[in-house]
Structure 1
Amino acid sequence: MSDFIIRAAAPSDAPAIVSLLKELADYEKLLDHFTLTEAEAARDMLGAACHCDLAFQGGESVGIAVWYWTYKSFRARRGLFVEDLFVRRAHRGRGIGKALLVHLAAKARKAGGFLEWQVLDWNAPSIDFYKSLGAKPWENWLIYRLEGEALERLNP
């Protein structure tokens, strides 16, 4: 039997959200890009821009899943995109990450859709974990982004 719970984040969880995501940014070697504040977490991660579910063990926040709904027009299906999935190092190997994905998969199935996410190409432990669940990478697809000056140049 698991000794952790998963629930939707509440406004009072903003400090835990920021703490977990800052640890994730550090793990992904992206800490210099991390700017999320508690006010932004409370504003954006409770259903306005996206959703956030937290895993707690012994009253401590130990895992997080940040996600939002998406849509694939070619397949005419709603899907769930996992923006962030993270379990604190000391709590890994206890089934918390898998439980978070099972929790999200139930939402995706209920919507009749799918579950998808991105992973850094060097993150072998996560890639191995996802493969163990039966996940497969999308072949022949690259992710592009426009931001900052490049985005401004598209201003009409």
Structure 2
Amino acid sequence: MPRLVDTKIPEFKLRFAESEDVALILGFIKELAEYEKMLSDVVATEESLKESLFQRKMAEVIIGEYKNRPVGFALFFHNYSTFLGKPGIYLEDLYIKPEMRGKGLGKIILSFLAQLVIERNCGRLEWWCLDWNQPSITFYKQLGAVPMAEWTVYRVHDEALYKLASSFS
């Protein structure tokens, strides 16, 4: 049985996901992708999640449970800042089921992650947010998060990734 962590919200508990949670995690990923109008981009499978999260341990997942029912998750991993000379935590996904939003659950999960950043002697907590997602942007700014307006995210994937890799040898 996974260890549950009590929070300030009665009946809301957090726990680190275990390999038995892969179907739940994939379900949350698909719900988030649907909200972001990107469901067709999801190619993750239970098998790929099990391998990357629990065998290779490339990322970690926190499950939020309200009244013993999973209602949200956060998937994160360590990155590294050469300027700080220490790791950080990058939050890839944070999702709370729509009927549970507005109760402070997302803030509790972010607070827990901030505590992990401090406990693990990391330098910062970072994430991306879609430009059109005004409710989340407002929420993040209320927490003291600042957008990194001077930075542009670049991505190489699919055919371009293979083309770039082939330039090596």
Gaps in structure 1 of 5+ consecutive residues: none
4+ long deviations beyond 6 Å: none
Residue in 2 that maps onto 1:74: 83
Residue 118 of structure 1, CA deviation: 0.2
Does 2:44 match 1:36? yes
Between 1:43-52 and 1:77-86, the stretch displaced more is 43-52
Say yes or no: does 1:86 pair with 2:95: yes
CA distance in 2, matches of 1:116, 1:36: 23
- Structure number with higher relative contact order (C-alpha < 8 Å, ≥ 6 residues apart): 1
Number of residue equivalences: 156
Structure 2 portions without partners, runs of 5+: 1-8
User: After superposition, what is the alpha-carbon deviation per residue over 1:90-112, rounded to whole angstroms, capped at 9, x for unaligned?
Assistant: 11111110111011001111224
- What SS class does the counterpart of residue 48 from structure 2 fall into? helix
Partner of 1:135: 145
- What's the Cα RMSD here? 1.2
Match of 2:158 among 128, 148, 153: 148
Find 2:27's aligned residue among 14, 19, 22: 19
TM-score with structure 2 setting the length = 0.88
Distance (whole Å) between structure 1 residues aligned to residue 94 and residue 158 of structure 2: 26
Give the distance between the partners of 2:52 and 2:103, measured in 1 at CA.
Answer: 29
Q: Which amino acid aligns with 1:42?
A: K
Q: How far did 1:121 drift? A: 0.3
> 1:45·1:66 contact (CA, 8 Å) conserved in 2?
no
The secondary structure found in structure 2 opposite 1:45 is helix
For residues 43-80 of structure 1, give each alpha carbon's deviation from its aligned partner in whole angstroms, at most 9, with x where no partner exists.
Answer: 22246111111001122210100000011101212100
